[in-house]
Structure 1
Amino acid sequence: MVAASTQEYGVGQEFRRAVKAGEFLITAEVMPPKGGDPSHMVTMAQALKGRVHAVNITDGSRAVMRMSSLASAVILQRHGIEAICQMACRDRNRIALQADLMGAHALGLRNILALTGDPVKAGDHPDARSVFDLESVRLLRVIRQLNHGLDIQDRPLTDQPTDLFAGAAVDPQSSSWSGLQRRFNSKVEAGAQFFQSQLITDFERLTKFMDQVAAGCDRPVLAGIFLLKSAKNAQFINRNVPGVQIPSGVIDRLAAAVDPLQEGIRIAAEQVQAARHICQGVHLMAVRREDLIPQILDRADIPPLSCDA
């Protein structure tokens, strides 16, 4: 990719600049609050300043009710923290999705991660009604339409187009290789500019994905790295997160450690180092301990971001 100067991009577009410049990308996930006080979310995100290109705000992850991802992302950007706003199709129809996308643009948000969304049965409101009027590929197409000044019906937007930088999720550990390849290609064709992977435990599989599926697409893939806090935490993930299998060797390391949390930090740092040789970035997840992400990056020899990046 050709490097671009910071001056070419406005406020809240450091992540886009880094993508276009071909830098090794670092993002981290922060959950919105479950209530009206965003102070803990802000504190966790502020600990990431200077270490990540953007903070990814979840949108009802695992179908658990939390503050709006759009509102949470705006709050972070008002604190000087660039956000990637997740937008899931589960809870909105095409009218609401377009309305929120235009609203995001008007409020200064530029980065959107387009998701289909987890099924409501997995969450804390299992009797809620799902919408799923669209899914992630069609949502990416809608974003592309809005950026070209058209709505989903090909009707012109009378008050200017949006300028949104859209990304998508990918699961390199999917059991269906042909389905994975087809879905990935569809997202590229629909306008995805970057990809964020699900939690990665099999780095050989990630290498195969990068060599056989993502090669030549000119879209960065960020490997999902999860901070495991204990053997019990790892076992919980194996039982409750579909498609993820923490290796027994990793669980044994956590179980034998004098300080399991510090061992988890070491394991995550090793995975970041592995990802540097395979793909174009990492997406770090440290649920409720986002303040530990700088320690993971330090152990992985990832320096703070350059002030003039």
Structure 2
Amino acid sequence: MKSPLQKRLESGKTTITAEIMPPRGTDVSTAIEHGKKLKEYVHAINVTDCSRAIVRMSSLALCKLLKDEGIEPILQMSCRDRNRIGLQADLLGANALGIQNLLCLTGDPVRIGDQPDAKPVNEYDSVRLLEQVASLNNGIDPVLKELPDGSTNLFAGAAADPNCKGFDGLRRRIERKKNAGACFFQTQMVMNPKVLERFCKEIAEPLEIKVLAGVFLLKSAKNADFINRVVPGASIPESIISRLDKASDPFIEGKKIAAEQINDFLSLTQGVHIMAVKAESSIPEILNRANINLKQT
């Protein structure tokens, strides 16, 4: 059985995804409420896995809770915090819980998080994790010849950064991920349509990969400056920062910019992936501004 996300992407239809963060604690009510509201606007919801090396509830746990609410989850899995046995166990567990969609990530370095003295694992990187998923899907046991209790049925994707300055290296990395089993790619935030166009025409299209372009909600010029300083690979143009700075209401302007990007990016890719950190409730408004109707896509 294919997941609804897999069926949609394979059909070639426009696909909209978004992401939410698990709580830093045990109260999941806000996260679940975000998920319920987004259900009417997106086809699937990513659940981040301690992004930026900051501890939050298990992505797997929140994905299961969203699944129970009839919401299509995408489990983000970082290699930073678990060795191969831990990753293998979580993959088997996710499949048993009916969570099929997976985004394989190497993970942000521990040093940028709020527990910089924690010990990173990184026995696998995203490519090796993708290979592990493919192996389990094929019924191959990590030690024995075959899984004695059944294979997995996981739909794995990976991340891509079109802003990467080493374009030949980026092409090789994307090719490795595809060959390892990546069935779709969600990109990091993109602020320049020309950057995305080059990525699509020179890498994605020749490799025949499905791309969901990353749209990031900027809240102010200060917010944009901060992201440029601390987020690896971020490249927010001065023109956008200036536009936010001059706006009478920067937050509303940020929503307008995100809506414009959605329309620009959908002419280049199969879909978009919307990131609105700590402002997930704004995603429906952004999609409405972009005139995106889930029933019409």
TM-score where L is the length of structure 1: 0.93
Contact 1:52 1:305 in 2 (8 A): no
For the Cα contact (< 8 Å) 2:163–2:235, is it kept in 1? Answer: no
Contact 1:74 1:109 in 2 (8 A): yes
Are residues 1:102 and 2:131 paired? no
SS at the partner of 2:273? strand
1:116 to 99, 106, 113: 106
1:146-295 matches, within 5 Å, as 146-153=136-143, 155-295=145-285
1:155 CA drift (Å): 2.6
Structure 1 residue 20: Cα displacement: 1.1
Closer/same/farther in 2, CA of residues 19 and 154 from structure 1, 3 Å limit: farther
SS of 2:186's equivalent in the other structure is strand
**Alpha-carbon deviations, 1:31-63, whole Å to 9, x = none?**
010001111111111111121110000011010
**Residue of structure 2 in register with 1:140 after alignment:** 130
> Where does residue 43 of structure 1 map in the other structure?
33
Tell me, what secondary structure is at the counterpart of 1:109? coil
Distance in 2 (CA, whole Å) between partners of 1:201 and 1:303 is: 23
Number of residues paired by the alignment? Answer: 297
RMSD: 1.3
* Of 280, 288, 292, the match for 1:302: 292
Moved over 4 A (4+): none
User: SS of the residue aligned with 2:49?
Assistant: coil
Paired with 1:284 and 1:225, the residues of 2 have a C-alpha distance of 5
CA distance in 2: counterparts of 1:246 and 1:154, whole angstroms: 49
CA drift at 1:72: 1.0
Q: Between 185-194 and 247-256, report the one with greater CA deviation.
A: 247-256
* Contact 1:45 1:290 (C-alpha < 8 Å) held by counterparts: no
Counterpart in the other structure of 2:118: 128
Structure 1, residues 40-89: CA drift from partner, whole Å, max 9, x if none? 11111111112111000001101000000111111111111110000010
Consecutive unaligned residues of structure 1, counting only runs of 5 or more, are 1-7
- Counting aligned pairs with the same residue, the percent is 51
Counterpart-to-counterpart distance in 1, 2:209 and 2:49? 23
Shifted more, 214-223 versus 19-28: the winner is 214-223
- Contact 1:229/1:264 (8 A) holds in 2: yes
The CA deviation at 1:288 is 1.4
Query: SS in structure 2 opposite 1:303?
Result: coil
Mapped to 2, the partners of 1:143 and 1:128 lie a distance apart of: 27
